[in-house]
Structure 1
Amino acid sequence: MHLEVRANMATRWGICGAGNISHDFCVALKTLSHEDHQIVAVAARSLDRAKKFAKTHGIPTAFGSYQELVKDPDIDVVYIGVLDTHHLPVGLMFLNAGKNVLCEKPLAMNHREVMHLISAARENNVFLMEAVWSRCFPVYAEVDRLLSENSVGEVKVVRVCFGLPLLHRERTSQKEQGGGALINIGIYCLQFALMVFKRERPESIHATGVLLPSGVDESLVVVLKFSGNRMAVCTCSVACDLPNDASICGSTGIIRVAHPMHCPTSLEVKGKETQFPLPDPGLPLNFTNSTGLRYEAEEVRRCLLKGLKESIKMSLADSELLIEVMDEARRQVGVVYQQDSQSLASIP
């Protein structure tokens, strides 16, 4: 039985995972009205960890296993903030139990896993959204409006880059933990290009990069060619800082999404800059502009109130196309994860 979310009731969130991103998501939720959003439970791999997290964020219930959160009848939607390599089994656990899910990016490790999650969501008639939080920022909505009005003419080239020195983090550099530049931060570059070109499937994908000794990509460049001789150039790296900005170059002007491109608070069009400030956080954050996670939470509530099973801002078709492009880029540079050959038969 699926819980009905009504306008006069708060959306009740369950938090799966007690790591850095889950912390920031909870801080962001607290910037929204308590009448609209409430965090009612958190689950971690140990009860002590869950209790500590719950105390920090004022969450009434703490579980020492994800399975206990699955059984909680008072959860409207689950936010999954666990390690990328666990998104498939954990996501399936909640979807098959009839829970609505907002799952951190990447939705899963490859196209086959993503489709497994999408199928589970559809079979169980529940909401599923990949938490590409960028898509929900006001700047992105403004970009979409400007493009629909042809404010810079015909878009010819999109240039996006994002790089951070992250080699000291095991989850970024080790294959077993889903490391690599593309899957961790390059995903933001690709999703931006695909959004600008209206979710069109590229005519060609050309990727080149350098690998770490662990077998994951340290730096990567992906060139996408679209119909009408239009192109996108996406550059990412976990070895060094890159500008983390984006330019949409049209026949009559340029739209610039300044640093940080993936969670922007300003937009420049033909020399005119517009600001979209974020609220101050109630607790220290782990990542830049993380109070902006509030926008995807608002989008989830909007969808649930309307009875939707996916978002138009980051649809399941968007997630499928994004992972297809990522899979092909990985194939070309030689990054292979265990999940690429692992059988799905043992996963419920």
Structure 2
Amino acid sequence: MTLRWGIVTAGKISNDFVNAFNSYPDKGDQEIVAIAARDKNRAAEFAKIHNIAKVFDNYEALATSTDIDVAYIGALNPDHYALTKLFLENGKHVLCEKPFCLNAKQTQSLINLSQKKQLFVMEAVWTRFAPSYIYLEKEIAAGNLGEIKFVEANFGISCESDRVLKKEYGGSAVLDIGIYLLQLSQYIFKEEPQKVTAVGNLNDSGVDVTETMILEYGSGKRAVLNSHVGLTLWNRATIYGTKGRITLEDPFHFPDKVTAVDGTLKTFPLHTSSLLNNFGNSAGLVYQAVEVARCIRAGLIESPRMSHKESLVLAKLMDTVRSQLGVHYDADDQEFP
């Protein structure tokens, strides 16, 4: 039975997700059948570009329709909680863009709702499904790096978008790109850090635009992570073990090249499409859609590769970083069921 997707918002990341999905030949029996946006003309144009059959001019109509089984939410950060809640309450599975929510309280609330409704929900940390990360995981499991002791990674972009720089849009370097650094550390060490230290800078809007984060784990294990939304950095990550190191080459958050323990360069080519993407290596966005379909068909409400617990840990880490830097949202003062 075909798994039917609805796309929520017609922005840049939604464009790339749909493009990656439609151009991938091995996605199985699933298709994108509907698009919803507040601006119906924009939704109609999106549908025309991507050959989507149904257009909705509001999210409630899509959520209550019988046309879709699962929603992909590519909205601005402050809308993630309400939109995910809307679709779960109307019996739809959800893949929501990262960051899942503005804080851990919202994240826990949605996890609770997913469990109550027995519906699948996942934060769209597409990195977890990259072939290069699967390779890294296998190398670690095989013992080729020995005991992992240290991780260092940078993610810096030159950004002028209000989506990242304005508090009212949920702007934040750690929520926008720092989450990729934090998820890498958690992916490697697979335990919550014993201590988190963050230093950084805020802009006039009260949003963090740069941070250095030090995560300390047991037995002297440590990650040093740098994020910056005003400067392009060398965005690669190196994982150091007692037997050697592996480097995820730029862009480390979804690399198509990895420098292996023996120094050779491994490549992980992505499929191509005739339509342009807005972000680098966006073809890889499809792998999470494949995982969503697999999990739903298996009767799961979370993915073992990007679990509810993982999203909650990441949310708590981002809360800690924001707290240390002095970044506060109105949602931090609210309670959620």
Distance, in Å, in 2 between the alignment partners of 1:344 and 1:36 is: 36
* Offset of residue 342 of structure 1: 3.2
**Alignment correspondent of 1:258:** 249
**Alignment correspondent of 1:208:** 199
* Offset of residue 343 of structure 1: 4.5
Q: Deviations along 1:69-128, whole A, 9 cap, x unmatched?
A: 112213121000011110011110001111100000000000001011111111111000
In the alignment, structure 1 residue 58 sits paired with structure 2 residue 51: yes
Paired letter, 2:291: E
In the alignment, structure 1 residue 152 sits paired with structure 2 residue 148: no
**Alignment correspondent of 1:5:** none
SS in 2 for 1:30: helix
Distance, in Å, in 1 between the alignment partners of 2:309 and 2:265 is: 32
From 68, 87, 90, give the equivalent of 2:83.
90
Instruction: Give unmatched runs, 5+ long, in structure 1.
Output: 1-8
The residue correspondences of 1:74-223 to structure 2 (distance < 5 A) are: 74-166=67-159, 168-198=160-190, 200-223=191-214
Distance, in Å, in 2 between the alignment partners of 1:35 and 1:229 is: 44
TM-score, normalising length from structure 2?
Answer: 0.97
The residue correspondences of 1:250-329 to structure 2 (distance < 5 A) are: 250-270=241-261, 271-329=263-321
Q: Which has the higher helix share?
A: 2
SS in 2 for 1:95: helix
Q: Deviations along 1:13-44, whole A, 9 cap, x unmatched?
A: 10011100000000001123475221100000
Q: Deviations along 1:110-151, whole A, 9 cap, x unmatched?
A: 000101111111111100000000001111111111111121
Paired letter, 1:140: Y
Q: Deviations along 1:221-262, whole A, 9 cap, x unmatched?
A: 110000111000111000100111100011111010000011
Q: How many pairs are equivalent?
A: 335
The residue correspondences of 1:225-264 to structure 2 (distance < 5 A) are: 225-264=216-255
Distance, in Å, in 2 between the alignment partners of 1:134 and 1:10 is: 26
Is the Cα contact below 8 Å between 1:31 and 1:294 reproduced in 2? no
In the alignment, structure 1 residue 70 sits paired with structure 2 residue 42: no
Q: Deviations along 1:273-305, whole A, 9 cap, x unmatched?
A: 211100112311100011110111111111112
Is the Cα contact below 8 Å between 2:104 and 2:316 reproduced in 1? yes
**% identical equivalent positions:** 41
* Offset of residue 344 of structure 1: 3.8
TM-score, normalising length from structure 1?
Answer: 0.94
Distance, in Å, in 2 between the alignment partners of 1:219 and 1:156 is: 25
* Offset of residue 50 of structure 1: 1.1
SS in 2 for 1:228: helix
Is the Cα contact below 8 Å between 2:7 and 2:73 reproduced in 1? yes
* Offset of residue 307 of structure 1: 1.1
Comparing 69-78 with 188-197, which one deviates more in the overlay? 69-78
* Offset of residue 171 of structure 1: 0.9
Comparing 17-26 with 332-341, which one deviates more in the overlay? 332-341
Instruction: Give unmatched runs, 5+ long, in structure 2.
Output: none
Superposition RMSD in Å: 1.1
